[in-house]
Chain A
């Protein structure tokens, strides 16, 4: 039981040590990953890539009607 309880702590330590002792290239790459994720999720998703149907219509019924209309016009 004690062994099981210590598992999350060991797991945390594993990742903590891993990031702390990371090589120079690893740090550089992580900086790029964080910048990239910020650009993708905060800038692109919020300002440029909002889901058109979700943004314009409140329910699935309205979305279906819109697409049906588009396909049969």
Chain B
């Protein structure tokens, strides 16, 4: 079946989804974080009654509104793509995605039609406290809305809480709690929203720095920097902490991704964490997969083992261990997983045949096997491996995983320093004089977006070939439509998204240049 899927179709379908997701993610983190920063500013206004704080709140609310409006509904295109380009996957996922996405849809609808309207239309029309409550509800609602999307995404990274029904060819949720409290979902939610808080803080910090560079709106800029630096510093520490817990979880549920982002081929105890490195192609090549090696690296000794299991003695399996097996660890080779996956697929085929020939008893017997815990844990969980042609197909693109991870981490640490310096300078009252720092703060805005997008590149590219970890590879998930039509929509999207992005940036720049008017 998979052999007849044109690789170009899979690649273009993936490229199209990646383009849409990357574009959608330009808007989301700013909404997540800026909503809370605005709520904090408005709280100060309501508590102090100082009209300058109201002016400041309304200025940032304008930028929030532009970002929110241009970004709204861009996520819907991803759902269209599921139905058109990933139909096997959409069907196979069953109701797992349905519940979280429905909750998200309802939440977003009520949030957008009510509280956002109060936020923008309600000044001087509703009481100060009701307006403030609406602003906080928008912030909380936007972040809760993100929770459901991330729960759905986390299930793809670590499928839990379901059984596969061979009759419908769908997964059915049997434990909503397991899906909601999936360890990947918890880590992903906390890491994602805290990174959104940090990005928004750097956005406020950067634009305020621009005002100081232009010697304009000094009061607004300094107060905004104070809020952004405190909020940003706390968020950046939370990002680092949740990043660490995410990595620990990843080491357990997606060990190949974990090994890939460190370009660790041979597992070891006392494994070091690469702080900085450059990769090159190695001489080693198996089944057309070119391996990588380091041209240069700076390593923190033992840290990767500590990250994995809290001890330098912990064995961290490398890509070779995970693909070809390792007698010293509990990892068994991909060939064994492929064998188990094929057993599951053959059984499913037998079920299909029994149904076609109306052999009800046989079909019922097979259906019972699919519900047995032992079968699910030991055989069906490797169903996706049946579609792989060689063990090396289970290796993601190591260079992309490695560079996206290290870029994200390096920028993350840089942002902690930027927030610390901003807080120090603003409290000393010397921030306006330190023009070098103001320029760094301004440059931090695009860097924050690069770090945020890199995180998603790592999360999604690092888990290849899987669309659902171990259960379904992208090649089995894609709809058999013409590659040409996917290319057409890709180009259409690229044009539409570019136009929307230009529109947003130009409206936003104009508003920033205008400054607070109220």
- A residues bordering B, Cβ < 8 Å? 14-15, 17-19, 23, 25-26, 28-30, 32-33, 36-37, 39-40, 44-45, 48-54, 60, 63-65, 67-73
Further 14 A-B residue pairs, CB within 8 A, beyond A18-B120, A33-B72: A25-B66, A26-B65, A39-B496, A48-B488, A48-B492, A49-B77, A49-B81, A51-B83, A53-B90, A54-B83, A68-B169, A70-B88, A71-B1, A73-B1
Bitwise interface map of B from 53 to 88 toward A, beta carbon under 8 Å scored 1, else 0: 000000000100110011011101100110110011
A contacts with B: majority SS: helix
The answer on a CB contact under 8 Å between A15 and B117 is: yes
Task: Verify if B330 is at the interface (C-beta below 8 Å from A).
Answer: no
Bound Cα distance from A3 to B170, whole angstroms: 51
| Known pairs A26-B120, A29-B69, A68-B348; A53 contacts B503 (CB<8 A) | no
Q: Quick one: which of B169, B476, B492, B503 has the most chain A CB within 10 A?
A: B169
Q: Taking A33-B69, A52-B83 as contacts, is the C-beta distance between A71 and B170 under 8 angstroms?
A: no
Are A70's CB and B476's CB within 8 A? Answer: yes
Interface pairs (29), CB distance under 8 Å: A14-B117, A18-B117, A23-B62, A25-B510, A25-B511, A29-B65, A29-B69, A29-B507, A36-B74, A37-B73, A44-B489, A48-B485, A48-B488, A49-B77, A51-B87, A52-B83, A52-B84, A54-B83, A60-B168, A64-B167, A64-B170, A67-B91, A68-B166, A68-B348, A69-B352, A70-B476, A71-B88, A71-B345, A71-B476
Within B381-422, the residues touching A (CB, 8 Å) are: none
Give bound CA distance, A48 to B20, whole Å.
Answer: 15
In angstroms, how far is the closest chain B Cβ from the Cβ of A7?
14
Q: Do most interface residues of chain B lie in helix, strand or loop, or is the interface mixed?
A: helix
Which residues of A have CB within 8 Å of B305? none
In the complex, B428 has a CB within 8 A of chain A: no
Task: Contacts A49-B84, A50-B84, A52-B84 given; indicate if A68 touches B1 (C-beta within 8 A).
Answer: no
Contact of A40 with B77 at beta-carbon distance under 8 Å, contacts A68-B169, A70-B88, A73-B1 already known: yes
CA distance A49 to B20 in the complex (A): 14
Q: Which residues of chain B have C-beta atoms less than 8 A from A73's C-beta?
A: 1
Name the contact of A32 in the complex, choosing from B70, B122, B476, B488 (C-beta under 8 A): B70
Q: What residues of A have a CB within 8 angstroms of the CB of B1 in the complex?
A: 70-73
In the assembled complex, the Cα of A30 lies from the Cα of B167 at a distance in Å of 47
Question: Closest chain A residue to B125 by CB distance?
Answer: A14
How far, in angstroms, from A19 to B117 measured CA to CA in the complex?
A: 10
Q: Are A32 and B352 in contact (CB under 8 A)?
A: no
Produce 1/0 per residue, B492-518, CB < 8 A to A: 100010001001000100110000000
Q: How far is the CA of A61 from the CA of B81 in the complex (A)?
A: 22
CB distance from A67 to the nearest CB of B (A): 4
A50 to B69 Cα, complex, angstroms: 25
Contact of A52 with B87 at beta-carbon distance under 8 Å, contacts A29-B507, A45-B80 already known: yes
Q: Are A71 and B481 in contact (CB under 8 A)?
A: no
**B213-247, CB < 8 A from A:** none
Residues of B within 8 A of A65 (CB): 169
Q: Which residues of B contact A50 (CB under 8 A)?
A: 83-84
Residues of B within 8 A of A45 (CB): 80
Cα-based distance from A39 to B500 in the complex (angstroms):
12
Binding site for A on B (CB under 8 A): 1, 62, 65-66, 69-70, 72-74, 76-77, 80-81, 83-84, 87-88, 90-92, 117, 120-122, 125, 166-170, 345, 348-349, 352, 476, 479, 481, 485, 488-489, 492, 496, 500, 503, 507, 510-511
- What residues of B have a CB within 8 angstroms of the CB of A64 in the complex? 91, 167-170
The chain A residue sitting closest to B63, CB to CB, is: A25
Interchain CA distance A5-B169 in the complex, whole Å: 51
Determine whether the beta carbon of B84 is less than 8 Å from that of A32: no
- B484 CB to closest chain A CB (Å) equals 12
A39 to B74, CA, bound (A): 11
* Closest chain B residue, CB of each to CB of A56: B87
CB B494 to nearest CB in A, in angstroms, measures 13
When chains A and B are docked, how far (Å) is the Cα of A25 from the Cα of B73? Answer: 19
Within the complex, the shortest CB–CB distance from B412 to chain A, in Å, comes to 32
Cross-chain contact A72 with B65 (CB below 8 angstroms): no
Chain A to chain B: the 4 pairs with minimum beta-carbon distance, closest first: A18-B121, A73-B1, A51-B83, A49-B80
Most chain A CB neighbours (cut-off 10 Å) among B66, B81, B121, B170: B121
Rounded to whole angstroms, the CA-CA distance of A55 and B122 in the bound complex is 44
Q: Please give, as numbers and ranges, the residues of chain A lying within 8 Å of B117 by CB-CB distance.
A: 14-15, 18
Chain A residues whose CB sits within 8 angstroms of the CB of B167 once the complex forms: 64
Nearest A-chain residue to B493, judged by Cβ: A44
Chain A residue nearest to B346 (CB atoms) is A72
The answer to whether A36 touches B73, judged by C-beta atoms less than 8 angstroms apart, is yes
Q: Most A CB atoms within 10 A — which of B168, B348, B510?
A: B168
Q: How far apart are B95's CB and chain A's nearest CB, in angstroms? A: 12
Q: Given the complex of chains A and B, what is the CA–CA distance between A67 and B167 in angstroms?
A: 11
Known: A15-B117, A49-B84. A67 touches B169 (CB 8 A): yes
Asked if A29 and B168 sit within 8 Å, CB to CB, the answer is no
Residues of B within 8 A of A14 (CB): 117, 121-122, 125
Q: Tell whether A53 pairs with B62 under 8 Å between CB atoms, given A25-B510, A32-B69, A71-B348.
A: no
CB distance from B88 to the nearest CB of A (A): 5
Task: Say whether, besides A64-B167, A67-B92, A17 and B69 are in contact (CB < 8 Å).
Answer: no
